[in-house]
Amino acid sequence: MTALSRFEGDWPAISALLDEALNLSPTARKAWLEGLIGEHAVHRETLRTLLAHQAEVETDDFLDTLPRLFAPGGPGGSDGLGGRGGPGDLALPFDGILPGSKVGAYRLIEEIGRGGMGTVWLAERADGLMTRRVALKLPRIVWGDSLAERMDREREILETLEHEHIARLYDAGIDAHGRPFLAMEHVDGVPIDAYCRTHALSLRERVTLLLQVMAAVGHAHGRLVVHRDLKPSNILVTREAQVKLLDFGIAKLLEGDSTMRTALTEFAGRALTLDYASPEQIRGDPLGTASDVYSMGVVAYEVLAGVRPYRLKRGSAAELEEVIAAAEIPLASSIGSAAGTAATDTADIGSASADRALRRQLRGDLDAILNHALKKSPADRYPTMEAFAQDLRRWLDGEPVQARPDGWAYRMAKLVRRHRLPVVAGAVATLALIGGASIALWQAHQAGLQTQRAQAEAATARAVQGFLEGVFRANSADQADPAKARDTTARELLDRGAERIDAELKDAPAARLRLLTVLASMYQDLGLNAREVDLQRERLTVARGLHGPTSDEAVLAMAALANALALDTKREEAAAQLKEATAILDARQDANSPTRLQVEIGQASLNRRAKPDVAMEFAERALTIARSGNNNADLLLVLRILGDAALFNKSFERAERAYAEAVALCEANPPLGAGDLSLIYGFLGHAQRALGRYAQAETSLRKGMEAEVTRNANAVRVAETQTHYAIFLNQAGRFRDSLTTLAPAWRWSETAAVELPQRRWVRAWQARALASYGHTQAALAVSADDISVLGTPHPPDGMDEQALTDRALALTSLGRLPEARTLLERQRQAIPAGKPPGRLYSLALRRWQVRSGQAREALAGFQAQRATRKLPPAPAAGEPVVEQAESAWLELNAGHAEVAEAQARQTLAAIRSGGNADYQRDHEASATLVLGQALLQQQKASEAEPVLQEAVRLHQQIYDPAMSPAVAEALSALAQVQRQQVQPQQVQRQQVQGHQVQGQQEQTPR
């Protein structure tokens, strides 16, 4: 038995406490030891013994005195802890781990860091495959499966985080000795607090660095990752003044089991640094992004004020926990120290004048910002890291910040909670001393006003209650059969209520106004827009009569009416209502009230499709107002509208940031986002795809679908999210996966009401997915059903164009050219005069022209379209591969084999070097086939054959090998090259396969 074997169950706690002690100066360790209380006090003597070997602690030799820990079932029994040799024989966790040692493919150079969970080494690849040096993270002790689980989790988390201010993960694995490792970007930098001191940065320069950190953390939050251990030593600044955020080692993805406590989370949880922990971390509560907001607030406080926000008397971890959880944090301007913000050789540091100068700069806005971030309750802090960053940017720009100093009521409430009896006694004594008639009169006046308000509110509540009871009782009384009363629909009850409002509440305008607001909202929820408009008009009339034509109530009613009108496609009238509401608010110089927020939301929502750039301006103003309030529902709505407008404006970076912040807000407040999270994920995925971030886009879309399927509250919404994900898979060339994902939505569409636009949308994409995979006849059968309902009244959703052009493409691929031409002509006639044709129609027309022997005309049309966009005739290397691939195909069919060959090679090079090859397999297959055919046209049969063999392989992977016309074309080209090389057996086999594929299209499977 080894000297420390008896501490096997306590070693994680001892290790964490030891790290805390080693962070202190030697002179402070004794006081720290004596200050340990509670559960930590039992380890005092053990820690004293370990700390006595101070000189050894700072070297690798110290590890010789630590116990060897094995994975469960290792030496020493199944408890996972054992030793070899006699007392004092406490072996190294990793025998001979020294500079020059190998871990996996890496050679260790020097140790550059250590913490509660392990050591970090500067290392390089021993096999020479990669010349860059890396930071190699190694566990300090072998901790069996739980450590492997933790390291694997860290690898998975870091792989989702790609940001200029986050250290990258290069490699991860377990070496031949069972040692997990993570190879990460080596950052040559210093902790942010030390960097600021060394370079004597101004407050503005420090805030600029902090904004880099917040951008990195906000990026992680948008991908549902919480850091959980933000501290200066995890924030390095390079020589170029660029921040790099390190160590997501104890982060947890915000999934459904995020609150589950395991041995893993317990162990990892104790690895965090208490000085920067949030109150909820101290309490052991489930964590969200608000925890990082708090920790970031502590870091910002220390960086800006030069001191930490906590001042301890005993200096123990137990006292620190008490302070973080309960004590009030002083304003930074009250304790800021110039000595903590300057280099050690700066003149006059720590002087009274320097302290006063610093505190003067901190006073006011920076005090308010830090105070807001460091609220004890997560709900009282900034809702997102982006909101925190926005306020710091406002301070930099000299604009008013959203954070406000604690008001009188807030401070009094805090005072009362801390000193309840003295405050009450003092208040009684003060009132007794002051007395006087003026106070008595004021109190009587206030009491009278409160009585009047209470009576009015009570009367309104009674009127509302009586009205609703009357509606439900009438429903029961009007039905002789109780079963029929139970079967009355929500729509029928709403209609009855709306019909009775005027007659029954004509003498109770306040109750009438409240009920009109509620019933109108319910009509909107049911999608009955015309009826909602009627009630919103009546609401506006009542609000003007009761409160005045320029009152907040009237303006809010205008905004609500505008929204209802827009939903009912009466956009011009909606704009007029919003214009009038805006004029009222402008006249009274109301720029930031909750009423102004609703009007700005209305303007942004109205314009997000038709004038997305204008909508973005309204939405940004609305976002500023929403962040200053405490209504997360409004904030979420604004973020969604901003994201939508940015998508329509092709401002994809802004759209991604808005949707990512919305996702983080929903994850931090699950009830808030229950009905919206899936759709927000979907739009986030579309923005990420537009930015070329295909892997992230797939994750977002899949999570959106899974969230809605799990919720299972609305069949239409489930079908929508399944279709969103299926569309992505189709556009990524994964046609079989797209059909599989779409199958449940397709089954729903078979029984859904014909007039539902979502039904048409699902079926249109089902037709495209079938055609893409090669089931062209089946796609035509689906589109035939939907073509029959075209022309019936529907919102302008673009589905008519997609259904017609997809059908024309399918007919063209089968050689049914006259039918395809008829559909294309129908589409051409529907294009408004002066408006260019859409991308989908143009693509279908060019395909038809090529099959009709008009390839040169098709190429000329393609180049003319590019000219209207001020682009050269041929796509450049940096343009989208879909455009490069089509250009190569058109050049081939126009007889320009050499040009087609060059463009096909350019396309393939772009795909293979762009990092998204797995999401562009269909374009790779197409470009490979074009390259082979171009070589064949140039009589380069020997060079063309392996290319065409690869084209056949790719086509058979992507499309249905037995039915796809694309596969048949590839087989035919391969047969042709083999014919030129006189390979009769291979030619016959390829020709037979090609004919079989074409013959399968005579069937119509669905």
pLDDT in tens, 564-618: 999 888 999 999 999 999 999 999 999 989 999 999 999 999 999 999 999 999 9
Q: How far apart are CA 241 and CA 189, in angstroms?
A: 9
* pLDDT, tens digit, 9 for 90 and up, residues 330-360: 888 888 776 655 543 333 444 567 778 888 8
CB 776 within 8 A of CB 814: yes
In the structure encoding, which two tokens stand for residue 36, read together? 């340990």
Please say whether the beta carbons of 607 and 615 come within 8 A.
yes
- Please compute Rg for the chain using Cα positions: 35
Condensed to tens digits (0 to 9), the pLDDT of residues 642-653 reads 999 999 999 999
pLDDT higher than 60, residue 305: yes
| Helix or strand holding residue 181 (H, E) | strand 180-185
Cα(599)–Cα(584) distance, rounded to whole angstroms? 11
- Cβ 139 vs Cβ 174: under 8 Å: no
Assess whether pLDDT exceeds 50 at residue 170: yes
Q: What angle do CA 407, 410, 415 make, to 5 degrees?
A: 120
Contact 782, 766 (CB under 8 A): yes
Cα distances from 534 to residues 500, 562, 571, 573, 781, in angstroms, run 14, 12, 16, 14, 42
pLDDT above 50: residue 981 = yes
pLDDT digits (tens, 9 = 90+) for 944-974: 999 999 999 999 999 999 999 999 999 999 9
Distance, in Å, from the CA atom of 59 to the CA atom of 63, rounded to the nearest integer, reads 8
Taking the whole predicted model, whether its pTM rises above 0.85 is answered as no
pLDDT of residue 856: 95
DSSP 103: E
* Residue (of 287, 394, 975, 905) closest to 628 by Cα position: 394
The pLDDT confidence band at residue 98, using thresholds 50, 70 and 90, is confident
Confidence of residue 495 (pLDDT cuts 50, 70, 90): confident
Find the helix packing angle between 420-434 and 408-418, rounded to 10°: 120
Query: Which residues are within 8 A (CB) of 306 and not within 5 positions of it... i.e. 6 or more apart?
Result: 336, 337, 338, 339, 340, 341, 342, 358
pLDDT reported for residue 968: 92
Average pLDDT on 975-999 reads 65
> Taking 70 as the threshold, does the pLDDT of residue 923 lie above it?
yes
Q: Poorest-confidence range of 121-135, 232-246, 780-794?
A: 780-794
The Cα–Cα gap between 658 and 663 comes to 9
Residue 393 CA to residue 399 CA, distance in Å, equals: 8
Residue 791: its pLDDT value, please?
A: 41
The answer to whether 948 and 932 have CB atoms below 8 angstroms apart is: yes
The rounded Cα 788 to chain-centroid distance in angstroms is 40
Of 114-118, 405-409, 740-744, 899-903, which range is least confident?
A: 405-409
Percent of the chain with pLDDT over 90: 35
Residue 463, pLDDT above cutoff 50: no
Per the model's pLDDT, the better-predicted residue between 230 and 32 turns out to be 230
Query: 3-class DSSP state for residue 234?
Result: helix
Whole-number pLDDT of residue 441: 43
Classify residue 851 by its DSSP letter: H
Is residue 78 scored above 70 in pLDDT? no
Q: Tell me what pLDDT residue 12 has.
A: 58
Q: What is the pLDDT of residue 1003?
A: 47
How far is the C-alpha of 309 from the C-alpha of 374, rounded, in Å?
9
Q: Which residues share a beta bridge with 184?
A: 135, 169
The number of residues in the chain equals 1006
How many angstroms separate the Cα of 113 from the Cα of each of 49, 96, 251, 562? 23, 18, 19, 60
Phi-psi region of 178 (alpha: psi -120 to 50; beta: other; left: phi over 0): left
| Least-confidence region, from 13-17, 137-141, 788-792 | 788-792
Can you tell me the distance from the alpha carbon of 799 to that of 516, in angstroms, rounded to the nearest whole number? 35
How is the chain split among helix, strand and coil, in percent rounded to 5? 65, 5, 30
Give the pair of three-digit tokens for residue 378: 């997560």
Binned at pLDDT 50, 70 and 90, residue 128 comes out as: low
Q: What is the mean pLDDT of the chain?
A: 76
d(CA 738, CA 747): 14
Q: Specify which residues 118 forms β-bridges with.
A: 139
Alpha-carbon distance of 292 to 301, in angstroms, equals 14
Choose among 966, 963, 866, 891: nearest CA to 921. 966
Q: Identify whether the C-beta of residue 809 lies closer than 8 Å to the C-beta of residue 960.
A: no
Q: What is the pLDDT of residue 369?
A: 94
Between the alpha carbon of residue 985 and those of residues 975, 976, 988, the distances in Å are: 10, 12, 5
Burial letters 222-260, b for 16+ CB under 10 A, else e: bbbbbbbbbbbbbbbbeeeeebbbbbbbbbbebeeeeee
Separation of alpha carbons 608 and 658, rounded Å: 14
The structure tokens listed for 147 are 């450590």
Local structure of 329: helix, strand or coil: coil
- Please check the confidence at residue 937 and state whether its pLDDT lies above 50: yes
Residues 544 and 541: their CA atoms lie apart, in Å, by: 5
Give Cβ neighbours of residue 51 (< 8 Å, ≥ 6 apart). 18, 21, 29, 33, 57
Average pLDDT over residues 541-560: 91
Distance CA 616, CA 286 (A): 35
Comparing CA positions, the residue from 673, 758, 674 lying closest to residue 721 is: 758
C-alpha distances in Å from residue 497, one per residue of 458, 492, 511, 572:
21, 9, 13, 30
pLDDT at residue 528, as a whole number? 82
At 523 the pLDDT is: 78
Q: Distance from first CA to last CA of the chain, Å, rounded? A: 71
Q: Are 683 and 725 in contact (CB under 8 A)?
A: no
Which class is domain 189-403? mainly alpha
Q: What whole-number distance in Å separates Cα of residue 356 and Cα of residue 352?
A: 6
Lowest model confidence (mean pLDDT) among 129-143, 514-528, 973-987 = 129-143
Distance of alpha carbon 678 from alpha carbon 637, whole angstroms: 14
The DSSP call for residue 399 is: P
| Segment 788-799 mean pLDDT | 44
Lowest mean pLDDT among 229-233, 265-269, 555-559, 865-869: 265-269
Confidence class for position 540, pLDDT limits 50, 70, 90: very high
Q: What is the pLDDT of residue 645?
A: 96
Give the closest residue to 186 by CA, choosing from 124, 240, 139. Answer: 124
Q: CA angle, corner 725, sides to 762 and 747, nearest 5? A: 35
Of 956, 931, 927, nearest to 944 by C-alpha is 931
**Which residue is it, tokens 């940065």?**
201
CA-closest candidate to residue 255, choices 732, 856, 677, 649: 677
pLDDT score for 287: 76
Question: Which has more confidence, 911 or 501?
Answer: 911
- For 80, 396, 467, the CA distances from 260, given in Å and listed in that order, are 24, 41, 47
Buried b / exposed e over 656-667, threshold 16 CB at 10 Å, is: bbbbbbbbbbbb
Would you say 634 and 354 are in contact if contact means Cβ atoms under 8 Å apart?
A: no
Q: How remote is the C-alpha of 330 from its chain's centroid?
A: 34
For residue 731, give both structure tokens.
Answer: 């556009």
Q: What is the mean pLDDT of residues 356-372?
A: 88
Q: What is the pLDDT of residue 789?
A: 45
> May I ask the CATH class of domain 463-588?
mainly alpha
Confidence of residue 266 (pLDDT cuts 50, 70, 90): very low
So what's the pLDDT on residue 370?
94
Task: Tokens for 26, please give them.
Answer: 């030697």
Residue 621: how many other CB atoms lie within 10 Å? 20
Bridge partner residues of 107 (DSSP): 102, 124
* Percentage of residues of the chain with pLDDT beyond 70: 69
pLDDT tens-digit map of 373-395: 999 888 888 888 888 998 999 89
